[in-house]
């Protein structure tokens, strides 16, 4: 009986030691911030520009140049140039627009749909969902751990203030983000579509760890779209018009015709308002 009691006591101490070694949610969040360059360093980032190219089997050409401009708290301007034609998506934190060349070569400007605005609002801007997550209204919970490409990763559940529930995996060794699954709330028809993103090959830029490759939309039997980030600029000055709605084209008239002034001479575009974050129609760019 004494031996049984001693064995049970030893097992209890071992279990307690294992439990004590398990990281808490906040410890994982803190280690993630430290691994990415530090909380204070990310808080000092006000603007950021990425330049690179997109590789996609679904695009009209295998490689398309892009420029992504971001500004706190959640403003983005995403430009893609394919075969000399530019597609632009803009989100000012409240409103969004998309512009591309029409069949006649003139730019076509359309506002974001409600679903696109919701998706852009949930993108978390420059630094992602874990940095200052409480201030962003994001509840983070450790669900467990999984094996991702042969490496242990912590699986975190993210509950956004909008009602969106996402999942982010953090590498248990490097503590960097790896897969991020977003499930936008309020999807059309009530069907939620998971948008999967995979961060790869982090590089150091001004002390910050930033992925050099971001894969999106991988599914069985198909290759993911790849955003290859070739250059990153931290805190560049950005013109205030960068995140303003694209101007709609003026009407054109023959030289001999002068139209009367009228209120509909220009297509109305909603004015941008101050904010309260892969393909060109995806709504939001990665962080």
Mean pLDDT computed over 113-120? 91
**171 has a pLDDT exceeding 90:** yes
Q: Is the dihedral of CA 9, 14, 17, 23 positive or negative?
A: negative
Which domains, ranges and CATH numbers included, belong to the chain? 23-243 (2.50.20.10)
**10 has a pLDDT exceeding 70:** no
Cα 228 to Cα 186: distance, rounded to the nearest angstrom: 30
Residue 105 CA to its chain's centroid (Å): 30
Angle value at C-alpha 127, between 170 and 158, nearest 5 degrees: 50
Q: Specify the length of the chain in residues.
A: 287
Phi, psi of 158 (to 5 degrees): -115, 120
Phi, psi of 17 (to 5 degrees): -65, -40
- Show the tokens assigned to 65: 């140049």
Mean of the per-residue pLDDT values for the chain? 81
**63 has a pLDDT exceeding 60:** yes
Lowest mean pLDDT among 57-66, 98-107, 197-206, 265-274: 265-274
The β-bridge relationship of strands 208-216 and 225-234 is: antiparallel
**144 has a pLDDT exceeding 80:** yes
Residue 194 has what pLDDT? 87
Cα 101 to Cα 60: distance, rounded to the nearest angstrom: 15
Q: In which band, very low, low, confident or very high, does the pLDDT at 243 lie, cut at 50, 70 and 90?
A: very high
Mean pLDDT computed over 1-13? 45
Cα 184 to Cα 60: distance, rounded to the nearest angstrom: 27
Q: In which band, very low, low, confident or very high, does the pLDDT at 107 lie, cut at 50, 70 and 90?
A: confident
């Amino acid at each position: 009986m004494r031996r049984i009691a001693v064995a049970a006591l030893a097992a209890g101490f071992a279990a307690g030691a294992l439990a004590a070694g398990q990281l808490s949610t906040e410890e994982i969040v803190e280690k993630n911030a430290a691994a990415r360059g530090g909380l204070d360093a990310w808080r000092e980032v006000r603007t950021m520009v990425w330049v690179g190219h997109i590789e996609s089997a679904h695009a009209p050409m295998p490689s398309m140049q892009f420029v992504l401009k971001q500004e706190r708290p959640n403003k983005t301007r995403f430009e893609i140039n394919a075969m000399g034609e530019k597609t632009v998506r803009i989100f000012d934190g409240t409103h969004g627009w998309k512009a591309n060349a029409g069949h006649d070569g003139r730019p076509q400007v359309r506002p974001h749909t409600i679903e696109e605005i919701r998706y852009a609002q949930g993108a978390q801007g420059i630094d992602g969902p874990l940095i200052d997550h409480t201030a962003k209204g994001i509840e983070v919970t450790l669900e467990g751990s999984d094996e991702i490409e042969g490496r242990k990763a912590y699986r975190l559940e993210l509950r956004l203030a909008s009602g969106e529930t996402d999942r982010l995996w953090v590498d248990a060794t490097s503590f960097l983000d790896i897969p991020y699954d977003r499930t936008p709330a309020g999807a059309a028809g009530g069907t939620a579509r998971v948008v999967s993103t995979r961060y790869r090959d982090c590089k150091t830029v001004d002390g910050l760890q930033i992925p050099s490759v971001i894969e999106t939309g991988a599914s069985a039997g198909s290759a993911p779209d790849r955003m290859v980030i070739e250059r990153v600029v931290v805190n560049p000055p950005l013109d205030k018009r960068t995140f303003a709605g694209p101007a709609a084209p003026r009407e054109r008239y023959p030289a001999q015709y002068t139209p009367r002034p009228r209120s509909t001479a220009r297509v109305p575009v909603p004015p941008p308002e101050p904010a309260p974050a892969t393909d060109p129609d995806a709504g939001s760019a990665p962080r």
